Structure 1
Amino acid sequence: MTKPKLVFHPYAQKYFDDPYEVYARMREETPLYYDEAEDFYALTRHADVAAALKDCKSFSSSRGCDLGMVRSTEPPQKSIIFMDPPDHRHMRSLLNKAFTPRAIQSQRDTVIELIEHYLGKVDPDRFDVVQDFSGPFPVEVIARMAGVPEEYRQQVRHWIDASLHRKPGQIEMDDDNMAANIDSGVYYYGLVQERRENPQDDMISRLIAAEIPDDHGILRKLDDIEITGFTLLLGGAGAETVTKLVGSAVVEFARHPEQWQKLLDDRSKVPAAVEELLRYVGPVQYNVRYTLKDVEVPSGTIPAGKAVFLMKGSANRDPRAFTDAETFDIDRDRTQAQNLGLGYGIHSCLGAALARMETALALEHLLDFMPRYEVDFAGLTKVNMQNVAGYKNVPVRVLK
């Protein structure tokens, strides 16, 4: 019996439900996939994706990071993830100051305080890991760093969810997405103006005070639109990554209880578990780039002027890169290949160290709170989102 023709629909319900099944076929049958109807390419093998992520001279980020944005004639908002060098380099060096090892370590007590706060409120007999725990705490951390007042921090998360949601088949933004983007943009723009009048010890105030070189090497201040764009990005990335990763972690450890037992027996394995989760169920499945010229990757040639999906979620399960790639194993040899879960190259995740710390601390507290637990698998619901994968609901019960 012949297999049906391989068609990759990045906004189909089947893809939202389980992207890994289609990835396996794409890697074997069409590693350089081309969709004639929508005129895009997709790379799924590790060697191809890693090469493209590193080649910012051929694969541009300046038109956006999803298909709708790349195809649009409107330039995306000013934000570091939508920049190529040299602009990207100037902004990255500026923002890196907010995520130094010392700066991240200074957030540790805050992260622990928030984890304990939200875990302390749940009912062990029935609670939702995402809605009650992994959704609320990470956005509190990043929003507090940015300077968002307490009463608006959870609203930030709801704006993010609404802006990233995609209905099956929806490529371009709809009215709900646009409304969420406008509401959050207006809020952050107002907050930036408030901080210009009344600076505080937060990221927005530091961005207002900072200077970067312009096209002629002359130092200039950032404008309100630029700072608003950066703050929107940090809020989104800082919330979504850990929210989805911790929710997926609870599900995967329920499916692989022997791996959870390894952590119960030896807490020193927690950092390795975080790396394996990023590889196996990374929250960011892909980024879309735009080719500035004809470009060679290991699997072939991509013409200039094309949208290209760089499928990090697939690359991280490529058996050419990882032994037993489809197996969840926290003890695997992590030197075999680059883990692309938090990106690679100049656009690797700015807050990667913070995300790793938050996830590790969340796992450590969950090991204490629910050493034995069960997931209501029938109650699991996944998100339908632009390039982000994970769960909206993970109902669990702590076992006595």
Structure 2
Amino acid sequence: MTKPQVVFDPFSDEYFNDPYDIYLRMQDEAPVYYSEESDFYALTRHADVAAALKDHETYSSSQGCDLATVQAGEGPQGKVIIFMDPPDHRVMRSLVNKAFTPRAIQSQRETVEQLVDHYLAQADPHNFDVVQDFSGPFPVEVITRMAGVPEDYRQMVREWIDISLVREPGNMGFTEAGAQAAIESGTYYYQLAQERRANPQDDMISRLITAEILGEDGQVRNLDDVEVAGFTALLGGAGAETVTKLLGNAMVTFAKNPDQWQKLVDDRSKVPAAVEEMLRFDGPVHYNVRFTLKEAHLHGITIPAGKPVFLMKAAANRDPRAFTAAHLFDIDRDRTEAQNLGFGYGIHSCLGAALARLETTIALERLLDFMPRYEVQWDGLARVQMQNVAGYNRVPVQVLR
């Protein structure tokens, strides 16, 4: 009996529940996958994805980074850094980089530690949900404080992000609630930008308002309020979702690999390496969609110009062509074998990667104190169904003493 042709539907229950078997089949059977139904391509092998992430002259970000936006053909509204190619991208990235220098990141350590300790102090070890009680609330507090969002709105930002990313099986676009959340979020950030323009403070929004860039006419100008709002919403979303999902995924993965958790219990110096392995093995961001500006030729197949292409970073990070025993979770693995694509690669690598690493490292160290032994309540696990983000909405655990 011939094996059925592999089907990759990034908006299906099968994909949301566990995409890794699909990724392996795509790598073996269709390294340049084409969906006739939805008219997109997908790359899954590490060498192909890494090369495409660095090739902005072929694989453009200018039409958006999700399938619905790219296929709409109108491009995203406003100047947002993830929707730019050079030279515009270089100018904008240099602005935002100033908020994420090594010194700026280290200045956040005390804030991260205080927030992590705050939420764990409130947690009930007999009824603890890693995501709802811990990894959901604290990361958004860190990034929104940096941005300048008032305390009363910080958790609301997380709700807007979560709702706007939800995708119903079979539907690549916003849900009705998601569209409303995106509107409310954009409106809020726009109003906040106006407030900071009138009353500057020591925060990221105020610094973006005063930043100068070279306009299309060659004249120096400032960002307008729509651009400032777009930047801030992007940073808030990335800063909240990444660590939330990474920590939830980590506690599930460690529960399935208790020997690896025991390594951390025995030796805390391994925590940074564990963070890197989690990013490789089950990172939170699975793909970005690009738009071909010209033909691409891979594995005897031509991808025409003007097509959406999924760059499957999570698939690439488990490519057995790139990593020895790629399907195994091993915090002691040789990390020089291939580039970890968990935080992207090339010009669009994650701006806040260092901050996310810091937050995740501190959180894991505190969780080792809080629950050196634990069991996941498997029946209570709940996966998210989101655009390009994978992980759990609920990870209930029983802390063992």
- Which TM class, normalised by the smaller chain length? over 0.9
Q: Does the 8 Å CA contact 1:47/1:298 hold for their aligned counterparts? A: no
TM-score (norm 1): 0.99
Q: Does 1:124 align with 2:144?
A: no
Find the counterpart in structure 1 of residue 346 from structure 2.
Answer: 345
TM-score (norm 2): 0.98
Deviation beyond 4 Å, 4+ runs, structure 1:
none
- Alignment length, in residue pairs? 400
Counterpart CA distance in 1 for 2:99 and 2:70 is 29
Per-residue CA deviations over 1:84-130 (Å, capped at 9, x if unaligned) read 11110000001000000000000000000000000011100111100
Note the residue ranges of structure 2 that are not aligned, 5 or more in a row: none
Q: Does the 8 Å CA contact 1:31/1:299 hold for their aligned counterparts? A: no
Residues 18, 293 of structure 1: alpha-carbon distance in 2 compared, 3 angstrom cutoff: same
Find the counterpart in structure 2 of residue 3 from structure 1.
Answer: 3
Counterpart CA distance in 1 for 2:356 and 2:77 is 24
5 Å-filtered alignment, 1:300-379, equals 300-379=301-380
User: How far is the alpha carbon of 1:213 from its aligned partner?
Assistant: 1.2
Q: Does the 8 Å CA contact 2:322/2:337 hold for their aligned counterparts? A: yes
User: How far is the alpha carbon of 1:298 from its aligned partner?
Assistant: 5.6
Counterpart of 1:25 in structure 2: which amino acid?
R
Per-residue CA deviations over 1:326-379 (Å, capped at 9, x if unaligned) read 000000000000000000000000000000000000000000110011100111
Provide the alpha-carbon RMSD of the alignment.
Answer: 0.9
Range with bigger deviation, 149-158 or 216-225: 216-225
Find the counterpart in structure 1 of residue 85 from structure 2.
Answer: 84
Counterpart of 1:228 in structure 2: which amino acid?
A
Counterpart CA distance in 2 for 1:114 and 1:298 is 49
Per-residue CA deviations over 1:190-209 (Å, capped at 9, x if unaligned) read 00000011100100000011
Counterpart CA distance in 2 for 1:301 and 1:324 is 31
Find the counterpart in structure 1 of residue 137 from structure 2.
Answer: 136
Counterpart CA distance in 2 for 1:295 and 1:4 is 27
Find the counterpart in structure 1 of residue 257 from structure 2.
Answer: 256
5 Å-filtered alignment, 1:143-154, equals 143-154=144-155
Find the counterpart in structure 2 of residue 28 from structure 1.
Answer: 28
Residues 399, 105 of structure 1: alpha-carbon distance in 2 compared, 3 angstrom cutoff: same
Per-residue CA deviations over 1:161-204 (Å, capped at 9, x if unaligned) read 01000010111223222101100000000000000111001000
| Structure 2 SS opposite 1:349 | coil
Counterpart CA distance in 1 for 2:327 and 2:219 is 51
Find the counterpart in structure 2 of residue 389 from structure 1.
Answer: 390
Q: Does the 8 Å CA contact 1:48/1:298 hold for their aligned counterparts? A: no
Find the counterpart in structure 2 of residue 174 from structure 1.
Answer: 175
Find the counterpart in structure 1 of residue 156 from structure 2.
Answer: 155
Residues 231, 299 of structure 1: alpha-carbon distance in 2 compared, 3 angstrom cutoff: farther
Counterpart CA distance in 2 for 1:330 and 1:275 is 8
User: How far is the alpha carbon of 1:214 from its aligned partner?
Assistant: 1.6
| Structure 1 SS opposite 2:64 | coil
Counterpart CA distance in 1 for 2:184 and 2:87 is 31
| Structure 1 SS opposite 2:42 | strand
Counterpart CA distance in 1 for 2:248 and 2:218 is 45
Per-residue CA deviations over 1:127-147 (Å, capped at 9, x if unaligned) read 110000000000000000000
| Structure 1 SS opposite 2:8 | coil
Residues 65, 44 of structure 1: alpha-carbon distance in 2 compared, 3 angstrom cutoff: same
Counterpart CA distance in 2 for 1:177 and 1:366 is 32
